[in-house]
Amino acid sequence: MPIGTVLIVDDSKTSRRLLRNILEKHNFEVLGEAENGEEGWLQFRKLNPDIITMDITMPKMDGIEALSLIHRDDAHAKVIMITAAGQKEKMVEAIRRGAYDFITKPLDEEKVIKVMIDAIEDGK
């Protein structure tokens, strides 16, 4: 049994692969990936993952807008924002709009797993 299921939303293929590798190594199951906010929202509706990891800057629809759409469907969905340096304002905006937590790039394996496990254990 996996610890939890995850949907990865990020426009960077390298970031998606890195995150997937970390998560799978620690027994999370990655149900799917999406490369923009709109696709992420549609995948969320289809896959119903325990956690969504959401990049902020993406083409077509950014992570903040996707977060809002996801929460419109499910106010309790756990969306963890993936933020890069210099995105403090966007990060504050995401938290204000109900993001569950955030992970900063470059990804640190231990920190990623700590945030993910905290999110899974909350509400169990």
Using CB under 5 A as the criterion, which residues of the chain lie in contact with Mg ion when the complex forms? 11, 55, 57-58
- Give the whole-angstrom CA distance, residue 85 versus residue 81: 13
H or E stretch covering 103: strand 101-104
Please state the closest distance from residue 84 (CB atom) to Mg ion, in A. Answer: 8
Nearer to Mg ion, 9 or 22 (CB): 9
Single out the residue of 80, 13, 12 nearest to residue 44, CA to CA: 80
Single out the residue of 40, 1, 3 nearest to residue 120, CA to CA: 3
Q: Counting every residue, how long is the chain?
A: 124
Nearer to Mg ion, 56 or 115 (CB): 56
Please state the closest distance from residue 11 (CB atom) to Mg ion, in A. Answer: 4
Nearer to Mg ion, 50 or 55 (CB): 55
Please state the closest distance from residue 56 (CB atom) to Mg ion, in A. Answer: 7
